[in-house]
Amino acid sequence: MALTKDDVAGIAEYARIALTEAELSDMTTYMNDAIDLLEPILGYDLDDVEPTFHPIGELANVARDDVPVAGLTLGEALANAASWRERSFLVPQILADGGAA
Amino acid sequence: MRKLSEVLHDWEAVIGLEVHTELTTLETKMFCGCRLSHDDPPNTNVCPICLGMPGALPVPNRKAIEYIVMAGIATNCEVMRRSMFYRKHYFYPDMAKNFQTTQGPVAFVMHGHLDLEIAGDGAKERPDGTIEKAIDGSYVAPIRILRIHMEEDAAKMVHVGGAEGRIGGASESLIDYNRCGTPLIELVTEPDLRTPEEARRFMEKLRQTFLTLGISDCSLEKGSMRCDGNVSLRRRGESGLGTKTELKNLNSFKSLHDALAYEICRQAEVLEAGGTVLQETRHWEPSRKRTVVMRVKETNDDYRFFPDPDLAPFDLSDEFIERCRARVPELPDTKRDRYVATWGLKRSDAAKLAGDPAVARRFEDASHGVKPQAVPMLANVMLNLVPAYKALTLLQITSITELLAADALSFSQARKVLEAVDGTGKMPLAVARDWGMLQSNDTEALAAVVDEVLGRCEAQVQQYRDGNKKVVGFLVGQCMKASKGAGNPKVFNQLLVQKLEG
Amino acid sequence: MTSLDTLTARQIAAGIAAGDFTATEVAHAALDAISARDASTQAFLQVSENLALEAAAKTDAARAAGESLPPLAGVPVAFKDNMNLLGTRTTCASRMLETYESAYTATCVQRMLDAGATPLGKLNMDEFAFGSTTDSSAFHPTNNPWDITRVPGGSSGGSAAAVASGQVTLALGSDTGGSIRQPASLCGVVGMKPSYGAVSRYGVVAFGSSLDQAGPLGRSVEDVALAMNALTAGGRDRLDATSQNCAQDHLAHLEDPIEGRAVGIIPALLEAEGLASEVRTAILDAADKLASAGAHIVEVDLPNMASSIAAYYVLAPCEAFSNLARFDGVRYGYQEPRCTTLAEQSSLSRAHGFGPEAKRRQMLGAYLLSSGVYEKYYLAAQKVRTLITADYQRAFAQVDAILMPASPTVAWEHGAISDPAALYLADVFTISNNIAGNCGISVPVCLGADSGLPIGAQLQGPAFADAQLLTFARALERACHMEGIVAPAFAGKGGELA
């Protein structure tokens, strides 16, 4: 079932990518074409196949010691930010609530 | 609204908790080497990794994984050898990457339980007949734990331009990434809790357990331990689940209890009026003692979970798990039972001492400095006297305990002595002697006081001789007054009776 | 008088050590070559003159102090602009990061510097590495040094063009689905995609985290092997939890004969639709040359390779969506001015900061990861990945390397292919290698019989057999006589070393 413009608009809203009406049409065409390209993987019977999320063989349990390492200075941290005030990053009004943790 | 006890008579509350605990006793964050900041100025402890700068990659803190495995072992969980980190996406700037690194369907530890002993008034919240209770009304509630998973905490946001730093009405927000990336473990219970008291007790027991493990400072006030509650109601006898609401801002044991109690009564009122409970997140307002809607959840959030390709999977070895097991110290319940068995402490006193690892450690250290039969008095001192003072030394504690155990001081005298020695190197014995308090057991000295009192209280002496034995209490009081409180009332009593009978 | 572009990395380092010329002279020659040539190729996004001269001065001071010099001492190198280097911007050829100053240095970059290389600057690429032409750079296209009306390939097109035009001796690129090997093939240089985990990804701006791998491009297999030594020196990078210890001397067996060893070819692949006949001829000819060198040519089959494009175009967009979610204009990057709400600011910053392909890939990824769709595509693709990996394991039980094209055609003209889906299909020869995490290398074998443009042959090897793969690449290079070639229009233009 093909994605509609409404579907694509919903994804764009979630992905925080504002699209103009014309871009939305193009994007819908693109997405449906791209999804058609994925057809080959739908033909498999994969019930008994384990996924390979990490192409790293048997490598596991990679971790580091709990030892502090010097980070960035405040100036370095804020250097690339377009908006900040005193010691903090600054964002405009947040209407929706959030924060899952 | 009806009272909780009435509501719970008709309705069964189904409560589950989600408890987030920051592993504050670690040195560094979950995925980078930044120090954990507690009160540092904003954006002091940040680096390319926890700021999510382009190209930066996470590497997990091994000790954090040891800690969560210890937490699982201490809560009777199964250690899952194979698990992975996942990415949980949501666009919100408190997460620098716009995803949180957390765990997927398999957590490091799963399927545990804690058994809660509910006694006293709190036990009355659970209607009789819904669980087996002891003669004194207490009962044991086994609470299953679904899982404890590892994740990272979010940044702190300060909302400015609105009321009280709340998000609603704020015109802009400031972000401090110091907390972003702090190792966080999230425990999710099964919906096995049935009363606000059980929920409160669960949280308390979990806190005692984590404190004993030394994995966190577990401060509800500062937010290093945070609890959300889910609650729904169903008619007694039914087995389906009602629509649940999620409660936030439960940042004290009292808030946890009171918010759940309020919410249970609120839902009952809605349902009894023929309404429906909406699936929503509600905020507890402690000052107004009510919950208010934060947001209505119409659909489940789609977080686009998938395994984090940057983090190698975990396949914990027997050796690793056993090393974690060996690091789990004696837990509060075991410690309580040992205190009762070894020294004959009252079970409730033993539980209180065992529940706080710092107190328990001090108590056990001090126990070596007193006679075994004085240990119950030591427990009394630890629980009822010591907390009122700033810096009592172990020797001061054992000294005052011995004096109290030998009846050489009264509790009120002991308080005065401790006040004087607190924060100094002075010994209670020496101070009490200097102040003449210790003469109180000196029979000869006290006999002089008794003679003086008997001499001027002829009327009472006569009453006694006429059979009013109770009047001796008045005479003891007079002796205490005459000795300026320094005499041992028991010795006065003995001397008075001797003389009056003699 | 010698032109710098005639020297190999080893010759430059040796010349500096011997006092034939100084690192500073080499740096000036490289800067001179860039100013003479880059107006035509447009390979660079930034030239880091100061960093280059500082590094060269350090090398010269070390020599003056009698210290022994590191293996790449004074060798001019430049980096794809998705690699962080302190003192430079890291733009990923995107408006989103147009002014982004690197806050730290990537491990692969640092290791090249530790080996003594002189950093000349940052190279153009497809925006965020999404593409195979370098035309999607937000700043300017890069031209193929063999014909400047044509694309250099991509996404590491700037890296391939800078090396092919002789502006630098070595460059680093990154390869998520062929982004080193394909431009190397189109520009006539050697480009290696190391095994996944062999080179640290720390500091390389992520596209597809389970597919990305940084690697070197050079004008000879030996130069690339020297760079591999530098990139793997020091072993596993503790800052990349998926990196592994691959430190070894990649030169030790470079000249070993391949007599009696087996090289696979996949006949079905050479009949693939869209494969240019001159490319097919070049690959069959390369097979003959390997056979002449004593290798057994063995037919092998990768039955699930046909599904690799589909699997890749699930995995790569999903990982890209996730990796690029952080670009919201808050901590760094383009921020839309005058927004009244955060949602508006994020959505417009991303809409105006990202180019079309970056948006397309993220949109596709956001869809494919959504609940209910994830199982159908993402999980399935990761299982197909298991099948593709197993195919390779079976093949590598029979052969040490597999020979195939790196690109179905030679370089095409700018703008000749505009349909994104058609461009995706051109990745057919390269992406299965990323899916399996194996190593691969493109070696120039000839100029096309029809076009006169370079054609590379790709060799793929099993994971962590990078040194062995280089041995086969060197054998092919010996037989093909394309070593050290600079695109004729640029050879010797500027860059004289006194």
The three-class DSSP label of residue C319 is: helix
- Distance, CA of C443 to CA of C219 (rounded, Å): 9
A87 neighbourhood in chain B, CB within 8 Å: 41-43, 176
Mean pLDDT of B396-416: 89
HSE at residue C179, side-chain half, CA atoms within 13 A, is 30
Mean pLDDT of C259-276: 93
Check residue A33 and report its DSSP letter.
H
Q: Do B302 and A93 touch (CB under 8 A)?
A: no
Structure tokens at C97: 């990061």
Predicted pLDDT of residue B483: 79
Pairs across A and B, CB distance < 8 A: 147
Instruction: With a cut of 80, say whether residue C137 has pLDDT above it.
Output: yes
What confidence tens digit (pLDDT) does each residue in C21-67 have? Answer: 999 999 999 999 999 999 999 999 999 999 999 999 999 999 999 99
Instruction: With a cut of 60, say whether residue A101 has pLDDT above it.
Output: no
Q: Do C421 and A11 touch (CB under 8 A)?
A: no
pLDDT band at B166 (very low <50, low <70, confident <90, very high): low
Instruction: With a cut of 80, say whether residue C388 has pLDDT above it.
Output: yes
Domain count along chain C: 1
What confidence tens digit (pLDDT) does each residue in A46-90 have? Answer: 999 999 999 999 999 999 999 999 999 999 999 999 999 999 999
Predicted pLDDT of residue A99: 39
- C379 is a domain residue: no
Cβ of B139: how many Cβ atoms within 10 Å?
18
What confidence tens digit (pLDDT) does each residue in C286-314 have? Answer: 999 999 999 999 999 999 998 999 999 99
Predicted pLDDT of residue B298: 61
Best A54, A89, A91, A97 residue to mutate vs chain B (most B CBs within 10 Å): A89
Q: By the 8 A CB rule, do B401 and B374 touch?
A: yes
A14 neighbourhood in chain B, CB within 8 Å: 91, 302
What confidence tens digit (pLDDT) does each residue in B113-141 have? Answer: 999 999 999 999 999 999 999 999 999 99
What confidence tens digit (pLDDT) does each residue in C306-346 have? Answer: 899 999 999 999 999 999 999 999 999 999 999 999 999 99
Residue C407's φ and ψ, nearest 5 degrees, are: -145, 145
- Distance, CA of B138 to CA of B122 (rounded, Å): 9
CATH of the domain at C71: 3.90.1300.10
A90: nearest CA in chain C? Answer: C330
B87: nearest CA in chain C? Answer: C322
- C326 is a domain residue: no
Residue A31's φ and ψ, nearest 5 degrees, are: -60, -45
Best B310, B311, B314, B315 residue to mutate vs chain C (most C CBs within 10 Å): B310
Q: Do A93 and C436 touch (CB under 8 A)?
A: no
Q: Which domains occur in chain B, in start order? A: 4-319 (no CATH), 353-414 (no CATH), 440-501 (1.10.10.410)
Predicted pLDDT of residue B434: 83
Instruction: With a cut of 90, say whether residue B501 has pLDDT above it.
Output: no
Mean model confidence pLDDT for chain B: 93
* CATH code for residues A1-43: 1.10.20
Percentage of residues of chain C with pLDDT beyond 90: 96
C423: nearest CA in chain A? Answer: A34
C317, C377, C382 member nearest A51 (Cβ): C382
- Distance, CA of B209 to CA of B76 (rounded, Å): 12
The DSSP result for C298-316, as a single string, is: EE---TTGGGHHHHHHHHH
Give the residue numbers of C marked as catalytic.
80, 155, 179
- C381 is a domain residue: no
HSE at residue B147, side-chain half, CA atoms within 13 A, is 12
- C386 is a domain residue: no
Written as one letter, the residue type at B391 is A
Pairing of the two strands C296-299 and C439-447: unpaired
Instruction: With a cut of 60, say whether residue B172 has pLDDT above it.
Output: yes
The DSSP result for B239-275, as a single string, is: -S----EEEE---SHHHHHHHHHHHHHHHHHHHHTT-
Å from C363 to nearest chain B CA? Answer: 12
Q: Do C359 and A53 touch (CB under 8 A)?
A: no
The three-class DSSP label of residue B286 is: coil
Instruction: With a cut of 80, say whether residue A98 has pLDDT above it.
Output: no
Mean pLDDT of C10-23: 97
What confidence tens digit (pLDDT) does each residue in C87-99 have? Answer: 999 999 999 999 9
Range of the domain at C73: 2-262+461-497
- Distance, CA of C136 to CA of C124 (rounded, Å): 10
- C83 is a domain residue: yes
pLDDT band at B364 (very low <50, low <70, confident <90, very high): very high
Pairing of the two strands C118-123 and C76-80: parallel
- Distance, CA of B153 to CA of B164 (rounded, Å): 23
Question: Under 8 Å CB-to-CB from B500, ≥6 apart: which residues?
Answer: B454, B461, B464, B465, B472
B111, with CB counted inside 10 A (0-12, 13-18, 19+), is middle
What confidence tens digit (pLDDT) does each residue in C247-256 have? Answer: 999 999 999 9
ipTM reported for the complex, 2 dp: 0.96
- C335 is a domain residue: no
Touching partners of A (3+ C-beta pairs < 8 Å) = B, C
Structure tokens at B114: 């804690």
The DSSP result for C102-131, as a single string, is: PSS--HHHHHHHHTTPEEEEEE--SGGG--
Assess whether the previous peptide bond of C165 is cis (omega < 30° from 0). Answer: no
* Of A30, B304, B305, nearest in space to C364 by CA: A30
- C283 is a domain residue: no
Cβ of B361: how many Cβ atoms within 10 Å?
13
Touching partners of C (3+ C-beta pairs < 8 Å) = A, B
Determine the straight-line distance between the first and last CA of chain B, rounded to whole angstroms: 67
- C394 is a domain residue: no
B56 neighbourhood in chain C, CB within 8 Å: 104, 202-203
Predicted pLDDT of residue B38: 75
